[in-house]
Amino acid sequence: MKNKEINFEHKGIGEILAHNRLVVPLNQREYSWQPDHVKDLFEDFAHALVKNHGSYFLGTIVLTTGSGDQPEVSDGQQRLATTSILLAAIRDYFHAHSDSKRASAIADKYLSTVDLKTTETVPKLRLNVDDQEFFRKLIISDPQSKDRDVKATKESHKRISQAASMASAYVKELLKPHKEALHADRLIELVTFIETGAQVIALKVPDHLNAFMMFETLNDRGLKASQADLLKNHLLSLCGDRIVEGQQKWAIMIGILESLGQDDITVTYLHHLLINKYGPIRERDIFDKIKSSVNNELRAIEFLDELAESANHYAALFNSEHKKWNDYGTLTRKNITTINRDLRVSQIRPLMFAVARKFLINEAKLAFRLFVFWSVRILISGTRGGVLDRNYSVAAYEVTSGVITTASGLSEKLASILPNDIEFESAFSEASISQNYLARYYLRALEQYARNAQEPEFVPSDDESTINLEHILPENTGTAWVNVDADMASAWYKRIGNLVLLQAKKNAMIGNSSYQEKKPILSESAFILTSSAAENQNWGPDEIKARQQNLAKLAIKAWPLSL
């Protein structure tokens, strides 16, 4: 920890607990994992044990030297704390079954140690000031200690207590299929796996780096870069006499991806390719998936060949001018631009990738247009991210495997998560838009539809220096809006019905003026939807709501559910 560089080490999470006295800094948050997070970690361990995986990748842990000699946990405290809770549950099981030697061995190795200066027993992991005493008493202390009766006084304490109950139940469930004579062996297997098999990338950061510099470096050289190195090393290690061929294929892939100028694109690309091949899979699971499915020379070469070949399809998703789209027509190029520049959505990319790789051109052209429609409906309606990820991933897999071959087939597959016309109109009628780039796109597309454009969802790039987004009812009303208080303005000024496009010079002229002063400027606008906003006597919540309901009726036609 005394050197001046950031060091990466691949270690078992148990090994980190065993060989360090770790401190969570005062500024770090309290224990925050919900039951689902704890369950995921325990299920990951169980899956790896059942599948007899030698290793399982848990992510990154960042350690930095604080004011003392003990490493501080800058990132990863939730995984470390939950792993400690599980190890404590194993210790408690051994203690309850009169195996005091193993119970003590686990406690001494992973949970606590004796400070040579004070002879005090201290935890291997010390949480922040809010949680430490509760964590020490409930988790670290001996099972027979009176400290174990400690009461939870904070929400984080309740989460720690709940995680401890889940860990105890997990240990019992793990042992249930086995005879009692084998229980110790099964638990020893789990402890060994936690120490060496449940691997993390430990980043050791020198104390002279401030937090901003550290996390900037992590973004540049952190977890994903290390994951990519792990994957590369695994694949090339299998190539045998064909290692030069394997290196060339990897280099081709990297060259294509780096041309995009996207940070951490390699692991994201690998993740999306695996979704195409296998369906829903978490990014942190990609190393284990590749390790289990690519396990000999032939498969390694074939997979590297697929990586090199598919990289062009993936790169094309970020660039509407890519040569791949030469045969797809200008509308598909516009679709790519709309998704990347105007909507800035990325969750749909694995599905776009599958369509780009597998659909016939005419079907792909239809599908990409639908992707724009669906993305707008989903953005407006606020469909939950987890639902989208899973359904897009399943659809991407079915496209890749040939189950879905048409745009209409995709529509049928995703019908359950796509907002129908009633849902979309209702959501649009109530929507407030915080991101100006989205508001500008929505208004431009609706303006196109109002003008009977052939493809209203495709709109030319507007120049913000000449065309501005105007809030008719401003955020700061001042004295010009005597009938509108600050709370009302705050609630209504971002509603779509309150927004119009206006020439920059005119927008600067009217500023926070009253509606009566804005009306002449609005009425002179060449934009249909802007000039029509000047047709009211007054402007307030009722007028905004009425206008937005009219825009919502346009929206279901501008972005239809199907073609």
* pLDDT values of the chain reduced to their tens digit, one per residue, 563 residues: 444 556 778 889 999 999 999 998 775 778 999 999 999 899 888 887 876 666 777 877 888 875 567 888 888 899 999 999 999 999 999 999 999 999 999 999 999 998 888 888 889 999 988 899 999 999 999 999 999 999 999 999 999 999 999 999 999 999 999 999 999 999 999 999 999 989 888 877 765 344 334 444 444 444 555 567 778 878 888 898 898 899 999 999 999 998 898 877 998 999 999 999 999 999 878 888 898 899 899 999 999 999 999 999 999 999 999 999 999 999 999 999 999 999 999 999 999 999 999 999 999 999 999 999 999 999 999 888 789 999 999 999 999 999 999 999 999 999 999 999 999 999 999 999 999 999 999 999 999 898 886 566 555 546 666 788 899 999 888 888 888 888 888 999 999 999 999 887 777 778 788 999 999 999 998 899 999 999 999 999 999 999 999 999 999 999 999 98
Asked if residue 26 belongs to a domain, the reply is yes
Report the number of distinct structural domains present in the chain: 4
Asked if residue 450 belongs to a domain, the reply is yes
User: Is there a single domain that holds both residue 135 and residue 236?
Assistant: no
What is the model's pLDDT at position 485?
86
Contacts of 123 (CB under 8 A, 6+ apart): 21, 111, 112, 132, 135, 136, 140
User: Is there a single domain that holds both residue 104 and residue 187?
Assistant: yes
What is the model's pLDDT at position 212?
38
User: Is there a single domain that holds both residue 435 and residue 540?
Assistant: yes
Domain end among 392, 419, 446: 419
What is the model's pLDDT at position 286?
87
Tokens of 472: 């008719």
User: Is there a single domain that holds both residue 413 and residue 475?
Assistant: no
Q: Residue 188: which domain range?
A: 7-220
Asked if residue 116 belongs to a domain, the reply is yes
What is the model's pLDDT at position 464?
66
User: Is there a single domain that holds both residue 409 and residue 519?
Assistant: no
User: Is there a single domain that holds both residue 244 and residue 137?
Assistant: no
User: Is there a single domain that holds both residue 525 and residue 381?
Assistant: no
Tokens of 321: 């001018």
User: Is there a single domain that holds both residue 56 and residue 189?
Assistant: yes
What is the DSSP secondary-structure string of 356-414? HHHS-HHHHHHHHHHHHHHHHHHHHHT--HHHHHHHHHHHHHHHHTTS--SHHHHHHHH
User: Is there a single domain that holds both residue 203 and residue 123?
Assistant: yes
Asked if residue 168 belongs to a domain, the reply is yes
325, with CB counted inside 10 A (0-12, 13-18, 19+), is buried
pTM given for the model: 0.65
User: Is there a single domain that holds both residue 496 and residue 366?
Assistant: no
User: Is there a single domain that holds both residue 72 and residue 148?
Assistant: yes
The answer to whether the beta carbons of residues 531 and 553 sit under 8 Å apart is no
Asked if residue 365 belongs to a domain, the reply is yes
What distance in Å separates the CA atoms of residue 39 and residue 327, rounded to the nearest whole number?
48
Domain end among 419, 435, 460: 419
User: Is there a single domain that holds both residue 203 and residue 237?
Assistant: no
Tokens of 469: 């987004």
Asked if residue 149 belongs to a domain, the reply is yes
